[in-house]
């Protein structure tokens, strides 16, 4: 089939619906449901973009020769790696980085698992083959993925095996000749309208037999029987683009995933009951690195958006001479340049890994993925501080066309904009900073790549600080040996 177009994406969603639940009802057609259809259209638009810029977005499949999505490329040199980041930027810019789950995010993961298939094959050669075949299948069909890693938030004092119900967290219920049966739940899957779901290792599992039934990696179609997506209340209220410029376009949705005795055929299994391998998999295959590559590109798109938005607001209401306004613009600009620098360093210092895959340098990406969750809430707060009451003085399209239209024209002017120009700008600022859509974006940035506290713990352990400690030790030694100043 090769690279898809938007209409094919929508047709598949219509013809092969997943079991999606929203506010107590089964959503039978996400392409028509008020809370889902705009997100589905935006997803479709991303696929159309591929064909608007085929040179940049597509490449020739090494197997079929047909054009396929560049985010499935397993890069073998630096230029290929950079070509992926250009492609990812085009997708990120489409939603100003608000669709963190544009399909490239997990296409990068599955490509890394295929590139590092040897790691999976060490446990069982079939697992390595499965990963390569699956990557090929996804690439040739241009399917999208969601994923779910985290066990339900019931009792965090104990692991999945210590919960009151052993089937609370998704667990292997049965191993059959033809595959596995999975029962239990996982949270959370963003973009539940994706074609397929990766159910990959959860946060660190305990070695030994206890957590083994929770240790696995597999991928299945989202419309597999028994697979249920219980979505949060949508933040797309079905309003027009004028009123809700972001939410009416880029609602990705997040869902708890319930496995009601779900069948997983063996050819879709990549790891099984191997706690140590599951704990190492993201790092060993490089998946976390290639995913972080996408994340930094998204961060740049998002920060560029906020810089443009803040600058237009400042200009509109004439606050460009005020000092704290300069500081706030500096803060956004510094984040943007920092993210660009992390990206550039990661690409320039990329190197072939032991599987022959061009892997971006991890240290700058690890720094970026730890840094941005701390920065993003502040960037959003800057929009709030610049906008102030302007973020609530935002009449809707109904007001603008209603009986008060003349008053609105008169009283909603800005220093440099007429009311009809100012209101859409401030509605955009509202949807980026205080609406339900905006708040979910902040929560997303804080947590989607993991708990920042545990990520800090991982960083603390992973990065050696020996050379810096040694430098201080040497300095202190000098002071001990020569305590008296010579002068
Ligand atoms: C909008 C959104 C979208 C998401 N999308 C996805 C997705 O698509 N796929 C996916 O797999 N996941 C997704 N996630 C889940 C994300 O991976 C988790 O939120 C993250 O890993 C933190 O886990 P948790 O939410 O279960 O928090 P918890 O682990 O329940 O933590 C709750 C609080 O307790 C603290 N805490 C708990 N245990 C510890 C500990 N051992 N050490 C230190 N502190 C601890 C945490 O710091 C936090 O403050 C998403 C999350 C959000 C908010």
DSSP state of 151: P
Positive or negative: CA dihedral 390, 392, 396, 402: negative
Task: Tell whether 259 is covered by a domain.
Answer: yes
Same domain as 200, residue 120: yes
Query: Which atom of ligand 1 has the smallest separation from the CA of 446?
Result: 53
Q: Is residue 426 part of a domain?
A: yes
pLDDT for res 431? 98
> Based on the domain organization, do 301 and 264 belong to the same domain?
no
pLDDT of residue 221: 98
From the CB of 458, is ligand 1 less than 6 Å away?
no
Looking at residue 487, its pLDDT comes to: 61
For residue 348, is it within any domain? no
Smallest CA separation from ligand 1 atom 30, residue: 153
Residues 70, 223, 441, 368, CA torsion sign: negative
Q: What is the pLDDT of residues 444-464, one digit of tens each?
A: 999 999 999 999 999 999 999
Does the CB atom of residue 442 touch ligand 1 within 6 A?
no
The range of the structural domain enclosing residue 413 comes to 292-339+363-452
Partners of 184 in beta bridges: 259
Instruction: Determine the longest span between alpha carbons in the chain, in angstroms.
Output: 85
Q: Give yes or no: residues 99 and 247 share one domain.
A: yes
Query: E strands within 50-206?
Result: 58-60, 67-69, 145-148, 171-175, 179-190, 196-199
Strand-pair category, 269-272 with 216-221: antiparallel
Q: Whose CA is nearest to atom 7 of ligand 1?
A: 189
pLDDT at position 208: 73
Asked if the structure places residue 244 within a domain, the reply is yes
111 and 184 assigned to the same domain:
yes
Same domain, 63 and 93: yes
For residues 275 and 383, state if they share a domain.
no
Residue 385 has what pLDDT? 98
Q: In this structure, is residue 463 part of a structural domain?
A: no
Are 67 and 111 found together in one domain?
A: yes
- Confidence (pLDDT) at 199: 97
Taking each helix axis from N to C terminus, what angle separates 362-387 and 436-447, rounded to the nearest 10 degrees?
160
| 258 and 299, same domain (yes or no) | no
Are residues 198 and 328 both part of a single domain?
Answer: no
Residues 333, 272 share a domain:
no
Residue of minimum CA distance from atom 1 in ligand 1: 444
Distances (CA, A) of 105 to 51, 90, 189: 19, 13, 13
- Tokens read off for 135: 């990557």
170 CA → ligand 1 middle, Å: 16
What's residue 485's pLDDT? 78
Same structural domain for residues 297 and 279?
no
Do 223 and 133 belong to one domain? yes
What letter would DSSP give residue 145? E
Q: How many domains does one find in the chain?
A: 2
Domain-embedded: residue 470:
no
User: Domain holding 416: CATH number?
Assistant: 1.20.140.10
Q: Is residue 323 part of a domain?
A: yes
Which ligand 1 atom is the nearest neighbour of the CA of 150? 11
Distance from residue 5's CA to the centre of ligand 1 (Å): 34
With a 6 Å cutoff on the Cβ, whether 254 touches ligand 1 is: yes
Ranges under pLDDT 50 in the chain: none
Phi, psi of 174, deg, nearest 5: -155, 145
Phi-psi region of 3 (alpha: psi -120 to 50; beta: other; left: phi over 0): beta
Nearest to 237 by CA among 16, 396, 447: 396
pTM score, whole prediction: 0.97
CATH code of 143's domain: 2.40.110.10
């Amino acid at each position: 089939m090769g690279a898809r177009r938007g209409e094919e994406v929508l047709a598949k969603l219509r013809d092969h619906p997943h079991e999606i639940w929203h506010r107590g009802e089964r959503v039978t057609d996400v392409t028509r449901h008020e809370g889902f259809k705009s997100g589905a259209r935006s997803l479709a638009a991303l696929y159309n973009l591929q064909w608007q810029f085929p040179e940049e977005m597509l490449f020739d499949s090494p197997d079929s020769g047909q054009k396929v999505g560049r985010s499935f490329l397993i890069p073998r040199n630096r230029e290929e790696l950079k070509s992926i980041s250009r492609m990812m930027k085009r997708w990120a810019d489409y939603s100003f980085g608000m669709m963190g789950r544009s399909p490239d995010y997990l296409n990068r993961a599955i490509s890394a698992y295929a590139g590092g298939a040897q790691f999976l094959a060490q446990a069982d050669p079939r697992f390595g083959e499965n990963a390569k075949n699956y990557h090929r299948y996804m690439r040739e069909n241009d399917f999208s993925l969601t994923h779910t890693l985290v066990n339900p938030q019931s009792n965090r004092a104990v692991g999945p095996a210590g919960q009151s119900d052993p089937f609370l967290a998704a667990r292997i219920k049965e191993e059959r000749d033809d595959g596995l049966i999975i029962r239990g739940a996982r949270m959370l899957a963003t973009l539940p309208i994706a074609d397929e779901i990766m159910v990959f290792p959860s946060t660190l599992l305990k070695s030994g037999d206890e957590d083994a039934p929770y240790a696995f990696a597999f991928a299945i179609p989202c419309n597999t029987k028994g697979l249920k997506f219980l979505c949060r209340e949508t933040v797309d209220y079905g309003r027009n683009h004028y009123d809700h410029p972001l939410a009416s376009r880029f609602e990705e949705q997040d869902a708890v995933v319930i496995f009601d005795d779900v069948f997983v055929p063996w050819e879709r299994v990549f790891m099984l009951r191997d706690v140590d391998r599951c704990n190492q998999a993201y790092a060993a295959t490089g998946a976390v690195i290639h995913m972080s590559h996408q994340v930094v590109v998204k961060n740049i798109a998002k920060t560029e958006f906020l810089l443009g938005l803040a600058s237009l607001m400042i200009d509109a209401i004439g606050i460009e001479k005020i000092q704290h306004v300069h500081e706030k613009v500096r803060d956004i600009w510094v984040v943007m340049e920092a993210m660009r620098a992390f990206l550039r360093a990661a690409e320039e210092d990329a190197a072939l890994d032991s599987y022959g895959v061009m892997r971006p340098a991890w240290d700058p990406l690890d720094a970026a993925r730890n840094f941005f969750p701390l920065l993003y809430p502040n960037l959003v707060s800057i929009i709030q501080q610049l906008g102030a009451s302007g973020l609530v003085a935002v009449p809707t399209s109904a007001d603008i066309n209603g009986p008060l239209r003349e008053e609105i024209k008169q009283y909603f002017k800005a220093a440099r904009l007429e009311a009809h120009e100012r209101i859409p700008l401030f509605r955009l600022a509202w949807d980026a900073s205080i609406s339900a859509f905006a708040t979910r974006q902040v929560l997303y940035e804080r947590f989607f790549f993991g708990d920042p506290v545990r990520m800090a713990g991982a960083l603390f352990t992973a990065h050696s600080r020996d050379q810096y400690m040694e430098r201080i030790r040497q300095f202190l030694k000098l002071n001990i040996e020569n305590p008296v100043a010579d002068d």
